[in-house]
Amino acid sequence: MDFELSDDQMALQEGVRNFCEGRVPMQVIRVLADGGALDRDLWRELADMGVFSLRLPEADGGVGLGWADAVLVFEELGRALVPGPLVWTHLAAGLVPGAASGETVVGGIERDDPSRLVEHLGSLDVVLIVDAEGVWQVDAGALASREIAHPLDPLTPVRELTEPLPQGDRLAGPDTAAQLREQGAALVAGLLLGVAEAATDLAVTYARERVQFDKPIGAFQAVKHLLADMFTRVEVARGAVYAAGVTLDDPAVGSVERAVAAAKLTAAEAAIGNGKSCIQVHGGMGYTWEVDAHLYFKRAYALEPAFGGIDACADTMADLLAST
């Protein structure tokens, strides 16, 4: 057993991080937040870097890597708050032509999702529908919808479907549908882990700089302990998220369902908890639009329900416990 990143994995992580820092630093993310529509150039650059084709075999133009690598990449994308239907498009690579290369932007929804909200719908080419029978594809343009004027996360625009979903063209059967749910949850957990880390970094930096009572506020224990808990949540979630990636690659090491549920639950709690604490540590500044803390906080909440929220994960764990 050796649960440490390989040199290749560290290089991959660093490569994506450098790309994000150079191409989508916070100023750029801020501009995207005001623009609303997806930046197609950025999307193709992400594709060129292999974000969507990462796991496709090299023979099919992919990079030939596995889930353990994918969660690392998504952690970095989450850390940088890169917007867009990253998870669905990644899942669609290999199923929907053009998804892997960034030509086709793919989103998705569960057929019985009572919210009827689709993230980024206005920018999508294709929508995947997942149900008990399988995975279905429809043209995004064919869906009647209305814009939600005030989305929770300014970087996650949503539209509400106004008509029942069409059946769509069948892409795959129920097994693939079930796999997509687990894989999607693992990737979202990666994003959430990154969000949780970025919120921690921002708060720690501020706590070192901001002076009150003639001391950096990070010298006050009440603040220190908030930060220590942020770090703790990140490290615990990291273990689970990486384990979920490894287990998806190699199901012989444990239950995929269980590993993914643990990852998604702890990463979601880390992201939400750290988003909150990041605002708290910033005081009044944290409550402003100008400081980035709210962007982490909102992204955390926007991602939490995707592919099964905290309660659904806990229920899955309980069911697994009952069956052993």
Nearer to other proteins, 39 or 75 (CB): 75
| One of 137, 183, 266, 274 touching other proteins (CB under 8 A) | 266
Q: Decide if residue 263 touches other proteins (CB under 8 A).
A: yes
How far apart (Å, rounded) are the C-alpha atoms in residues 192 and 267? 6
In the shown chain, the binding pattern of residues 238 to 257 toward other proteins, with x for contact by CB under 8 A and - for none, equals xxx-xx-xxx--x-xxx---
| One of 33, 95, 178, 236 touching other proteins (CB under 8 A) | 236
CB of 14 to other proteins, least distance (A): 16
In the shown chain, the binding pattern of residues 144 to 183 toward other proteins, with x for contact by CB under 8 A and - for none, equals ----------------------------------------
Q: Decide if residue 227 touches other proteins (CB under 8 A).
A: yes
Nearer to other proteins, 9 or 101 (CB): 9
* Angle, helices 221-249/174-209, rounded to nearest 10 degrees: 150
Q: Decide if residue 315 touches other proteins (CB under 8 A).
A: yes
Q: Decide if residue 211 touches other proteins (CB under 8 A).
A: no
Q: Decide if residue 300 touches other proteins (CB under 8 A).
A: no
CB of 29 to other proteins, least distance (A): 25
Beta-strand relationship, 126-131 and 106-110: parallel
CB of 299 to other proteins, least distance (A): 21
Can you point out the beta strands (E) in 166-318? Answer: 169-172, 211-212, 215-216
Beta-strand relationship, 134-139 and 169-172: antiparallel
Q: Among residues 276, 265, 277, which one has the least CA distance to residue 303?
A: 265
CB of 256 to other proteins, least distance (A): 12
How far apart (Å, rounded) are the C-alpha atoms in residues 33 and 25? 13
How far apart (Å, rounded) are the C-alpha atoms in residues 149 and 155? 13
For 206, phi then psi, to 5°, come to -65, -40
Q: Among residues 129, 159, 133, 134, which one has the least CA distance to residue 147?
A: 159
Evaluate whether 56 touches 89 at the Cβ level (below 8 Å): no
Q: Decide if residue 219 touches other proteins (CB under 8 A).
A: yes
The token duo for 237 is 């979630």
Q: Residue 127 in 3-state DSSP?
A: strand
| One of 258, 282, 298, 299 touching other proteins (CB under 8 A) | 258
Q: Decide if residue 209 touches other proteins (CB under 8 A).
A: no
Based on the number of CB atoms within 10 Å of its own CB, is 222 exposed (0-12), middle (13-18) or buried (19 or more)? Answer: exposed
**Binding region for other proteins (CB under 8 A):** 1-6, 9, 68, 204, 207-208, 215-216, 218-221, 224-225, 227-229, 231-232, 235-240, 242-243, 245-247, 250, 252-254, 258-259, 261-263, 265-266, 310-311, 313-322, 324
